[in-house]
C-alpha cells in the first residue's frame, strides 16, 4: 500500500511538472551594468519653418511610441499635413489621405494610461473603436481632461509650442525625424 502511494505521488509530480504548476515566474532581466536605455525624441520640421520637439512616454505607451518611431524613420509622415485644426482644442495630422480617413494599413492596440490631456500632449487619434489608431496623432492646444483614459497619450511637446499654436489646416510637416540620445 505504501509503495502504491509513493508511486501515485511520483506520478502526480511527473504530470504536473510540465504544466509549470510549481515553476516560479521568470524574473525581469537585470539591466547590464553601465548600460542605459536610449531615450528617443522627435523633431517635426514644418514646411513653413519652425521645429516642434517631442518627448515620448515609452513607459506608458511602448507599442504606440514604437509605432510612431517606426513610421517616422520610414519617412511616412514627411510631407503630410495637419488636416484638422480645432482652436483651443487640438491640431491633428499624420493622415496619408489628408482628410481624417487614412491609415498605414493596420491598426494598433490602445494603451490608455495615467497621462493627462494637458496643453501640449501628443496622443493617437482614432475612430470610436478603442483599438483603431494607426498613424494619425494630435497635439492638444489646451487641457482636454474629458479625453483622459480614452485616448493613448504617448508624448508631449517640449519645445516649439508656439509653432503648434500657429498651425493652420493644411500646413505640411516637411520632415519628422527621430533623435536617439543616451
Contacts 24+ apart (CB under 8 A), 101-110: 102/135, 102/136, 103/134, 103/135, 103/136, 104/71, 104/76, 104/134, 104/135, 105/134, 106/134, 107/131, 107/132, 107/133, 107/134, 108/63, 108/64, 108/67, 108/133, 108/134, 109/63, 110/151, 110/152
Domains of the chain plus CATH, in order, are: 37-181 (2.40.100.10)
pLDDT at 137: 99
pLDDT at 1: 54
pLDDT in tens, the chain (182 residues): 555 544 444 444 444 444 444 334 333 333 333 334 568 999 999 999 999 999 999 999 999 999 999 999 999 999 999 999 999 999 999 999 999 999 999 999 999 999 999 999 999 999 999 999 999 999 999 999 999 999 999 999 999 999 999 999 999 999 999 998 75
pLDDT at 126: 98
pLDDT at 4: 52
Residue indicated by cell numbers 517616422: 72
What burial letters (b/e) apply to 39-58, b meaning 16+ CB within 10 Å? ebbbbbbbeeebebbbebbb
Pairing of strands 121-124, 173-181: unpaired
Residue 172 DSSP one-character state: B
pLDDT at 181: 76
pLDDT at 45: 98
Within 113-182, residue ranges assigned H as helices are 161-165
Using the Cα atoms of residue 47, residue 136, residue 68 and residue 163 in order, give the sign of their dihedral.
positive
Q: What is the pTM of this model?
A: 0.79
Residue indicated by cell numbers 470610436: 128
pLDDT at 125: 98
Amino acid at each position: 500500500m505504501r509503495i502504491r502511494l509513493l508511486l501515485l505521488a511520483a506520478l502526480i509530480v511527473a504530470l504536473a511538472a510540465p504544466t509549470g504548476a510549481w515553476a516560479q515566474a521568470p524574473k525581469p532581466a537585470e539591466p547590464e551594468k553601465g548600460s542605459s536605455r536610449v531615450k528617443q525624441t522627435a523633431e517635426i520640421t514644418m514646411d513653413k519653418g519652425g521645429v516642434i520637439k517631442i518627448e515620448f512616454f515609452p513607459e506608458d505607451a511602448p507599442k504606440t511610441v514604437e509605432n510612431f518611431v517606426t513610421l517616422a524613420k520610414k519617412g511616412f509622415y514627411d510631407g503630410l499635413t495637419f488636416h484638422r485644426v480645432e482652436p483651443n482644442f487640438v491640431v491633428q495630422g499624420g493622415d496619408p489621405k489628408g482628410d481624417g480617413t487614412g491609415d498605414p494599413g493596420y491598426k494598433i492596440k490602445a494603451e490608455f494610461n495615467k497621462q493627462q490631456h494637458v496643453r501640449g500632449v501628443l496622443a493617437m487619434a482614432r475612430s470610436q473603436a478603442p483599438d483603431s489608431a494607426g498613424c494619425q496623432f494630435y497635439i492638444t492646444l489646451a487641457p482636454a481632461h474629458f479625453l483622459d483614459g480614452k485616448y493613448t497619450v504617448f508624448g508631449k511637446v517640449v519645445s516649439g509650442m508656439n509653432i503648434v499654436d500657429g498651425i493652420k489646416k493644411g500646413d505640411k510637416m516637411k520632415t519628422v525625424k527621430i533623435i536617439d540620445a543616451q
